[in-house]
Amino acid sequence: MELRRVRLPLVDPFASSLGVETERLALLVRAVTPAAEGWGECVAATEPLYSSEHLEGAEDVIRRFLLPMLASRPWSSAGELASVLAPVKGHRMAKAAVETAVLDAELRASGMSLAAHLGAVRRRVASGVAVGIASSLDALVDQVAAHLDAGYLRVKLKIRPGWDLEPVRAVRERFGDVALQVDANSSYTLADTRMLAALDPFDLLLVEQPLAEDDLRGHAELARRIRTPVCLDESVTSARVAATAIALGACSVVNVKAGRVGGYLEARRVHDVCVANGVPVWCGGMLETGIGRAANVALAALPGFTLPGDLSASERYFPTDLTPPFVLDDGHLRVPEGAGIGVDPLAEVLREVTVSSEWVPLRGA
């Protein structure tokens, strides 16, 4: 296995209640087997502001715990990795990157696409765009106008206390009934219920993760008091938590991110639980390069993904992507059809953006 750090500048700084991202530092995991090579992208950010994981921590866990565990226990396919790695608590983004690399190698060796393996039913997926906290309402409206001109089918606004009602009102007034949702990244408390209820008249598709990650009861309480559907992101760390959240009435929509739940196989189970309960899902994004984006697009092609995802074109974030760019076509991204994740890093770009590389042999596997 290779652990390779890459650094990609972003087109524009991306601001949210979690801070301002000016570049994407990502960790790529590459699984090299006699039959094929596979890639996984670790979505952990450099600082633990979205969840408890962060990039250097994830790299350390992969190097010191996950890979030695894989080397010392018997397993024969990617579907067994989650149980092999179960003794390590948490660290789902680290586990997801390792599982995805192995799964990609396995699928490439057998010639099957990740989309087909997961159960995809679509050849293209609807593309939404996430818009960060802007310097002014005018700047926000200009950004949204440019994204709508590009063809995005839904807009998600980042909100936080002090940047919520006004931006939503400005976008509604200017763009009419555009499909609109907001993401709070857990920046409110139940004491803000009145403010969150003030969003009701704006007919938002959903409000994402208004309260703390561990506050399912609070989300259930809030969901009873506001009309906007409550969607969970950070809170849903597994299919079991998804089932619990739905049973408690804590959400009526779920954002599915493979990194957050430990991999694409668990992400499919989250999808399945939601479908079984009549809860729509959509695919979240974490500023992935083309490697992670390709796998996200495959996931979003499953039948329960009935809302547009945070699945933007490469050029929304990167002047140069690591892979051939994902491009918007009539508001959609095409699901890769090739084996595995269906895309490869461009050798020259990969060389240019690589910050470090380390090989870890997996003897005995």
Chain positions contacting ligand NPG, by CB under 6 A: 45, 50, 130, 183, 185, 233, 284-287, 310, 312
Task: Report residue 187: phi and psi, to 5°.
Answer: -95, 5
DSSP bridge partners of 253: 231
Our answer to whether residue 156 is catalytic in this structure is no
Residue closer to ligand NPG by CB (options 102, 230) is 230
CA distance 172 to 179: 10
CB of 284 to ligand NPG, least distance (A): 5
CA distance 195 to 166: 12
Our answer to whether residue 158 is catalytic in this structure is yes
CB of 206 to ligand NPG, least distance (A): 13
Enter the tokens of residue 158: 């980042």
- Amino acid residing at 339: A
Active-site residue identified among 89, 95, 156, 257: 257
DSSP bridge partners of 309: 127
CA distance 152 to 251: 25
Residue closer to ligand NPG by CB (options 6, 287) is 287
SS3 254: strand
Q: Is 214 exposed, middle or buried (0-12, 13-18, 19+ CB in 10 A)?
A: exposed
CB of 45 to ligand NPG, least distance (A): 5
Residue closest to ligand NPG (Cβ): 285
Residue closer to ligand NPG by CB (options 78, 297) is 297
Active-site residue identified among 89, 95, 156, 158: 158
CB of 128 to ligand NPG, least distance (A): 8
Backbone dihedral region for residue 293 (phi beyond 0: left; psi -120 to 50: alpha; all else: beta): alpha
Which residue, 187, 179, 195, is CA-closest to 159? Answer: 187
CB of 92 to ligand NPG, least distance (A): 13
Residue closer to ligand NPG by CB (options 67, 199) is 199
CB of 241 to ligand NPG, least distance (A): 17
DSSP character for 344? -
Residue closer to ligand NPG by CB (options 47, 329) is 47
CA distance 285 to 5: 19
Residue closer to ligand NPG by CB (options 113, 312) is 312
- What's the residue count for the chain? 365
The distance of Cα 164 from the centroid of its chain, to the nearest Å, equals 23
Gyration radius from the chain CA atoms:
20
Catalytic residues: 158, 257
